[in-house]
Amino acid sequence: MMADSNNLIVCPVCNREFKKEVIEEHVNKCLFLNASGQSASKRELANSDSTTTVTLPKRRKLNSTSTGCPIVEQKESIEVVNSSQKHHATVNRMNKITVPLAEQMRPLLLDDIIGHIDSFGRGTMLRSMLEQRKIPNMILWGPPGCGKTSLANVIANICKESKTMRFVKMSATMAGINDVKEIVKIAKNEAQFKKQTILFMDEIHRFNKLQQDTFLQHVENGTITLIGATTENPSFSLNNALLSRCRIITMQKLSVADVLEILKRAVKKNCNILVQDSRSSFDDMSKEQIPSIIVEEESLRWLAEICDGDARIALGALELAITSRDTESDVCKDGPTVLSLDDIKNGIKRTHMLYDKKGDEHYNTISAIHKSIRASDDNAALYWTTRALHGGEDPIFIARRLIRAACEDIGLADQSALVEAVACLQGCQQIGMPECDVLLAQCAVRLARAQKSQEVYRAMKKCQSHLKESKGPLPPVPLHLRNAPTKLMKQLGFGSGYNMLHKDESGLSYMPQGMEDYDFFNPPGV
């Protein structure tokens, strides 16, 4: 608005008068400084090192030729801006520090992937496709910490370098069907511009099979390329129709050598940490070159051995040990701090072991117990039984399987084996864990050492097979074998001619008509 006839205009921000030629430049500066001052919250000002308090200065009339805000006002505003910038820099630095070491070590290139030579090594079909930037629909199946998300990170980097692909990462633990539909909607729009959408769905087994049907049409028509990651067996946890459209990539646990290599890379990535076997002299090094912490290779090897092939567990333990020793202080006169094996052991009291009481490891381990008993390998039977208990398996479940083994594999060769297996089950029910561990171990070893006979089991299987393959109605029970509790049944001949003599003396046949000479223990043609 016009102030007077002298062609002066009042600034709408600070209410000061300026000439028409400079008012526009002044308003821009005034808006910027006021916005910066207001963006600094009370918490930011309290946390900053600056002691400046934001106060509105008294209005001072400027010379009509002035082009900016008062000097005092500019100074205070600049101090607020600097304080705010300093606070945000501190927050950014803290966020960078709190990124887990396992996340920092995610590979970006195919050559950075450690292990899984059979799946992603040079010359494999999958590697060749990824190098050509052709991403197939696939399900990554493997235990935690084996590198499923790391592979997805490499694929995301491939998509980032390409102008024709877009990578979307989701987790079934936090996303729902509506989120997937939204991604598909965007993917259809992107497809009009020749841009393919790659959808990585972590923990895809968390979607039930009805929810998994959402992917079918869009995967089939190419709207999205699906990459799923799961720790559960896809045969049981994923929809068969979805499996037929994706390639299953089985990823095994990382070996000790693979995990050790990952740990070494993690240590070398930090310029303040050096890997070596023992203390060394740093006399020839300047203070800036001397690392603050030395990690002994022996401690890294121990971590690689106890993490059960889980790189995330190993990196997390290493990060915890380093953080506890790194005080961010100057190197002391005696040299850098040595992170020894004992230091890491003190922070990790229990060995990590993968065992899912409802997943594949549950059934794989119990199968190993039974087959070790069948093969009379008492040492292996003891190992697998103890390992199942160490993983937290229900002792009653193991005892029931031992009863089955006593009948199926030992049978009539040692009839007392079944009695002892049942007694083992009752003992486990009475005393529970941890006292019943020795009962299970003793029973497993005793069954493994017993004489084996599958005569009854095999005869039973042949009888079951015969019943399944029978054509037409099953033969009726012979009249002389039927019960006759009523007068009518006796008149019909039920129970007629029955006697209690041995089969060789009674003259009766106890098999149905037409099967009198059939022997399941020695079937014809065997």
Where residue 6 falls among pLDDT bands split at 50, 70, 90?
A: low
Last residue of a domain, one of 347, 375, 394: 347
Q: Of all helices (H) and strands (E), which one includes residue 273? A: strand 273-276
Angle between helices 416-431 and 437-449 in degrees, nearest 10: 170
Q: Are residues 274 and 333 in the same domain?
A: yes
CA 416 to chain centre: 45
Angle between helices 360-374 and 437-449 in degrees, nearest 10: 40
Are the C-beta atoms of residues 355 and 392 closer than 8 Å to each other? yes
Q: Are residues 16 and 50 in the same domain?
A: yes
Q: Are residues 379 and 433 in the same domain?
A: yes
Q: Of all helices (H) and strands (E), which one includes residue 11? A: none
Strands of 28-187, DSSP E: 138-141, 165-171
Please report whether residue 490 resides in a domain. Answer: no
pLDDT of residue 34: 59
CATH number of the domain encompassing residue 413: 1.20.272.10
Average pLDDT of the segment spanning 210-227: 90
Where residue 409 falls among pLDDT bands split at 50, 70, 90?
A: very high
Q: Are residues 127 and 222 in the same domain?
A: yes
Q: Are residues 114 and 215 in the same domain?
A: yes
Last residue of a domain, one of 347, 368, 396: 347
Please report whether residue 315 resides in a domain. Answer: yes
Average pLDDT of the segment spanning 451-470: 90
pLDDT in tens, 389-403: 988 888 999 999 999
CATH number of the domain encompassing residue 323: 1.10.8.60
pLDDT in tens, 51-83: 333 344 444 444 434 444 444 444 444 344 444
Q: Are residues 157 and 41 in the same domain?
A: no
Please report whether residue 472 resides in a domain. Answer: no
Are the C-beta atoms of residues 344 and 263 closer than 8 Å to each other? no
Position 225 pLDDT exceeds 60:
yes
Domain range holding 323? 261-347
Nearest residue to 383 via CA among 306, 307, 441, 446: 441
Position 281 pLDDT exceeds 90:
no
Please report whether residue 298 resides in a domain. Answer: yes
Are the C-beta atoms of residues 277 and 296 closer than 8 Å to each other? yes
14-23, 191-200, 284-293, 455-464: which range is least confident on average? 284-293
Domain count, the chain: 4
245: alpha, beta or left? (left if phi > 0; alpha if psi -120 to 50):
alpha
Nearest residue to 265 via CA among 96, 94, 106, 100: 106
Cα-based distances in Å from 445 to 206, 273, 410: 39, 49, 13
Instruction: Give the HSE-up count for residue 354: Cα atoms under 13 Å, Cβ half-sphere.
Output: 21
DSSP code for 412:
G
Q: Are residues 79 and 161 in the same domain?
A: no
CA 36 to chain centre: 45
pLDDT of residue 209: 86
pTM score over 0.85? no
Q: Are residues 161 and 203 in the same domain?
A: yes
Are the C-beta atoms of residues 223 and 187 closer than 8 Å to each other? yes
CATH number of the domain encompassing residue 229: 3.40.50.300
Q: Are residues 25 and 93 in the same domain?
A: yes
pLDDT of residue 123: 82
Whether the bond into 473 is cis, omega within 30 of 0: no
pLDDT of residue 329: 43
- What does 181-250 look like in DSSP terms, one character per residue? HHHHHHHHHHHTTT-EEEEEEETGGGS-HHHHHHHHHHHHTTSEEEEEEESS-HHHHS-HHHHTTSEEEE
Q: Are residues 130 and 87 in the same domain?
A: no
Q: Are residues 51 and 86 in the same domain?
A: yes
Please report whether residue 306 resides in a domain. Answer: yes
Cα-based distances in Å from 77 to 31, 41, 56, 71: 11, 13, 10, 10
Owner of token pair 């740093």: 282
In one-letter notation, the amino acid at residue 106 is R
Please report whether residue 292 resides in a domain. Answer: yes
Average pLDDT of the segment spanning 107-128: 86
Average pLDDT of the segment spanning 477-482: 88
Helix (H, G, I), strand (E, B) or coil at 114: coil
pLDDT of residue 372: 94
Please report whether residue 35 resides in a domain. Answer: yes
Q: Of all helices (H) and strands (E), which one includes residue 338? A: strand 337-339
Please report whether residue 367 resides in a domain. Answer: yes
pLDDT in tens, 235-260: 888 888 888 889 999 888 888 899 98
Q: Are residues 120 and 239 in the same domain?
A: yes
11-15, 92-96, 419-423: which range is least confident on average? 92-96
Last residue of a domain, one of 202, 221, 250: 250
Averaged pLDDT of the chain: 78
pLDDT in tens, 339-381: 777 777 766 654 445 555 555 677 888 999 999 999 999 999 9
CA 83 to chain centre: 42
